[in-house]
Structure 1
Amino acid sequence: MEMIARVDALAAELHDPYLVSRLLSRREAITSSSIEGTNSTLDELLTIEEENEVARDEAKQVRDYALTLDNFVPQARAQGPSLFTAELISALHTEAMRHEPSYADAPGHIRTTVVWIGGAGQIAYSTFNPPPPADVAACLAENVRYMRCEGMQIVTQSLVMRMALAHAHFEAIHPFRDGNGRVGRLLLPLMMAAEGHVPLYLSPYIEAHKPGYYAGLQAAQQRLDWEPLVGFFSRAIIATGRELFATRTALRTLAAQWQTRRRFRSRSAALRMLAILPDYPVTTAKRMAAHLQLSIPATLTGIWQLVDAGILTERTGYRRNRIFFASEVLSIINRPFGSDVADPD
């Protein structure tokens, strides 16, 4: 809770809607999807956000996850815990699974079949059996009621404890045939935002510590032993907060180093672009022109100045619709969780 308070204090100081970078939600989308075996990269995700041409289904799924965060985190801030309803769960699943070609059911619809966890496809050897289809709706109603804090948990349990318990409950219900892990992890930042806190994206920590995550879920679901999972979420929040501060420091150091690479005229397009690149390190002239309210020719002049300074690179080789990359920003955001940041010099 102290780490959450430190992050909130930083957000209040910065007045920044992304706190550090829009890319943290993109990294969350990539790692949460990766836990489920859906793989993409930060470069690929940001590229298809700039030019929605032909994209792999897996990349579209990751993009859907990121856009779901973009859509629902502001709603959580505005509505508070009343956001949590069965309809929300359905909407999250619909958005997260709309480009999953192998999904057998209609996205957003509660399962009508028996499912089990573990056992290599054989229920006789399962490690956990979620409720039968007839009981799923009632169980899910209890789960969202708990997230709405309609009982004494609002005064007797910390936010971290409620996140752990709600997550374990949701995954135990397993309301959909597939996609439950993604929806369950989407709910975590929504719970933080609904209580007025900066949402921390925990999937990078979870991916880096998957054995502890699954062991905590198993202890909670099989033995009602909550301490391992509450401890895991506590460590995840602390480590994610530290990672956020380290990322912010690295990006500020990089921004200062960029300023030494050439002289920038005051209020020039190139100088103004430097402030945007931590949020849009894969970008186009059209994107930059819209942000800066400049003409395309003026924007391109600034972009090519940044290319000459080694801040942007153009990888497509196209004569038109070029895409530019700030590779140093991508390296900072995309580094393995908890690893040191390379010196930009």
Structure 2
Amino acid sequence: MKRTELSGGVRERLVRLPDPYQISRILSRREAVSSSAMEGTHSTLDELLIADEDDGQVGQAVRQVRDYALALERFVPSALIQGRQIFQIELIQSLHRSVLGHDASYRDTPGDFRQEVVWIGGNGHIVYSVYNPPPPAEVPYFLEETLDYMREDGMQMMTQSLITLMALAHAHFEAVHPFRDGNGRVSRLLLPLMMAAKDQVPLYLSPYIELHKQAQQKLNWFPLIGFVSNAIVQTVQELRITREALRILHAVWLTRRIFRKGSAALRTLKILAAYPVLTAPKLGTLLSITPPAANTAINQLCQVGIMRERTGYARNRIYASDEVLGILNRPFSEEPIVPKANR
């Protein structure tokens, strides 16, 4: 296997995906929801998308989850540009600050390495711990060793696949446990960054990991590599199913009314997969149309059940496509529900 390949036919599947980045904004938010949920911070895709349009009333949990998604949007492009040299101590600290910056319960300064001994398992007492990460004084050394591995500064760059790199780096980072909290989120953020740094389409694996979290093998290399391999294959398959469901949904919408060619309403249908929650001003910006044209398009889509007003406000209204959200927000591996076409 070449070191730039993923596994089997996964790379070929990715290449066949039409415009793989088209709904990446949604995928990054699904990733944020799943990754944060594993750490006890809960939000929903709907809440994140509404926060994108109006963050004035966002609660702390939603803000934290949204910070995770924004970190992906910030650092994945950097990884594509910088390649594997992005994996430096400063990146790890920046990622931690990004996901813990709005966590009022975090006792340390986000981005600073822990200064206390920690342990994993044991029901609150180190005597019964399952695993003991290195003491605080040794964290920088072992983290740098992990980052050396991620930069492929050794011979492994000649022999190991990207999947092996991802699996072992993920395990080693969590073993170092550089922060008092937030290590899992930072570790999962690093997975798509490692893909992007190798010129691969970055996949967001947390929905799969959340579903199968009991199956992860800690520091047991072969099962762990197999776990990451399965996560990649199943995530690609999930993306293909989602894209097909959205294609069918678009065809169903076209049966609900006659859309004038080139109309704002017809053009809106094409962007609802990426923006299933939006405002009239946002639609005007996305389509470069006037406010009256944006409002007319939204009203036409509301009349046939493609969109729905969510706030009940007279002003600053937020609209959503519940059918798109139903497809995008379904549990991982669950078949999407697509409405039937009008006869």
Q: TM-score, normalised by structure 2?
A: 0.95
Query: Which residue of structure 2 lines up, in the alignment, with residue 63 of structure 1?
Result: 66
Deviates more, 1:150-159 or 1:187-196: 150-159
The alpha-carbon deviation at position 254 of structure 1 amounts to: 0.6
User: Is the CA contact (8 Å cut-off) linking 1:20 and 1:247 kept in structure 2?
Assistant: no
The alpha-carbon deviation at position 186 of structure 1 amounts to: 0.2
Helix, strand or coil for the counterpart of 2:76?
helix
Query: Which residue of structure 1 lines up, in the alignment, with residue 225 of structure 2?
Result: 230
User: Is the CA contact (8 Å cut-off) linking 1:4 and 1:197 kept in structure 2?
Assistant: no
The alpha-carbon deviation at position 235 of structure 1 amounts to: 0.9
The one of 139, 154, 159 equivalent to 2:157 is: 154
Q: How far, CA to CA, are the matches of 1:229 and 1:111 in structure 2?
A: 27
The alpha-carbon deviation at position 2 of structure 1 amounts to: 2.8
User: Is the CA contact (8 Å cut-off) linking 1:3 and 1:241 kept in structure 2?
Assistant: no
1:209-231 deviation digits (Å, cap 9, x = unpaired): 11112xx12xx1xxxx3111111
Amino acid at match of 2:309: E
Query: Which residue of structure 2 lines up, in the alignment, with residue 5 of structure 1?
Result: 11
- Equivalent runs, 1:67-216 vs 2, <5 Å: 67-213=70-216, 216=217
- CA root-mean-square deviation: 1.1
* Over 6 Å off, 4+ runs: none
The alpha-carbon deviation at position 17 of structure 1 amounts to: 6.0
When residues 7 and 87 of structure 1 are mapped into structure 2, their CA distance, relative to the original with a 3 A threshold, is farther
Q: How far, CA to CA, are the matches of 2:293 and 2:206 in structure 1?
A: 40
Q: How far, CA to CA, are the matches of 1:132 and 1:228 in structure 2?
A: 28
Query: Which residue of structure 1 lines up, in the alignment, with residue 3 of structure 2?
Result: none
- Equivalent runs, 1:22-61 vs 2, <5 Å: 22-61=25-64
Matched, 1:317 2:309: no
User: Is the CA contact (8 Å cut-off) linking 1:118 and 1:128 kept in structure 2?
Assistant: yes
Determine what percentage of the aligned residue pairs are the same residue. Answer: 56
Q: How far, CA to CA, are the matches of 1:22 and 1:275 in structure 2?
A: 15
User: Is the CA contact (8 Å cut-off) linking 1:3 and 1:237 kept in structure 2?
Assistant: no
Quick check: which one's helix share is greater? 1
Helix, strand or coil for the counterpart of 2:29?
helix
In the alignment, structure 2 segments of 5+ residues that lack a partner are 1-6
Query: Which residue of structure 1 lines up, in the alignment, with residue 321 of structure 2?
Result: 326
Query: Which residue of structure 2 lines up, in the alignment, with residue 303 of structure 1?
Result: 298
User: Is the CA contact (8 Å cut-off) linking 1:20 and 1:244 kept in structure 2?
Assistant: no
The alpha-carbon deviation at position 3 of structure 1 amounts to: 4.3
Amino acid at match of 2:16: L
The alpha-carbon deviation at position 6 of structure 1 amounts to: 2.5
User: Is the CA contact (8 Å cut-off) linking 1:4 and 1:198 kept in structure 2?
Assistant: no
Query: Which residue of structure 1 lines up, in the alignment, with residue 4 of structure 2?
Result: none
In the alignment, structure 1 segments of 5+ residues that lack a partner are none
Q: How far, CA to CA, are the matches of 1:3 and 1:113 in structure 2?
A: 45
Q: How far, CA to CA, are the matches of 1:238 and 1:257 in structure 2?
A: 29
Helix, strand or coil for the counterpart of 1:22?
helix
The alpha-carbon deviation at position 132 of structure 1 amounts to: 0.2
Q: How far, CA to CA, are the matches of 2:23 and 2:280 in structure 1?
A: 23
The alpha-carbon deviation at position 18 of structure 1 amounts to: 1.8
Amino acid at match of 2:189: L
User: Is the CA contact (8 Å cut-off) linking 1:21 and 1:278 kept in structure 2?
Assistant: no
User: Is the CA contact (8 Å cut-off) linking 1:91 and 1:108 kept in structure 2?
Assistant: yes
1:266-321 deviation digits (Å, cap 9, x = unpaired): 11111111111101101101111111111111111111011012100002111110
The alpha-carbon deviation at position 8 of structure 1 amounts to: 3.2
User: Is the CA contact (8 Å cut-off) linking 2:14 and 2:236 kept in structure 1?
Assistant: no
User: Is the CA contact (8 Å cut-off) linking 1:117 and 1:127 kept in structure 2?
Assistant: yes
Matched, 1:287 2:282: yes
Helix, strand or coil for the counterpart of 1:276?
coil
User: Is the CA contact (8 Å cut-off) linking 1:113 and 1:133 kept in structure 2?
Assistant: yes
Q: How far, CA to CA, are the matches of 2:239 and 2:251 in structure 1?
A: 19
Q: How far, CA to CA, are the matches of 2:114 and 2:81 in structure 1?
A: 30
The alpha-carbon deviation at position 175 of structure 1 amounts to: 0.3
The alpha-carbon deviation at position 127 of structure 1 amounts to: 0.5
Q: How far, CA to CA, are the matches of 1:19 and 1:47 in structure 2?
A: 19
Q: How far, CA to CA, are the matches of 1:101 and 1:180 in structure 2?
A: 17
Q: How far, CA to CA, are the matches of 1:311 and 1:240 in structure 2?
A: 27
Amino acid at match of 1:65: Y
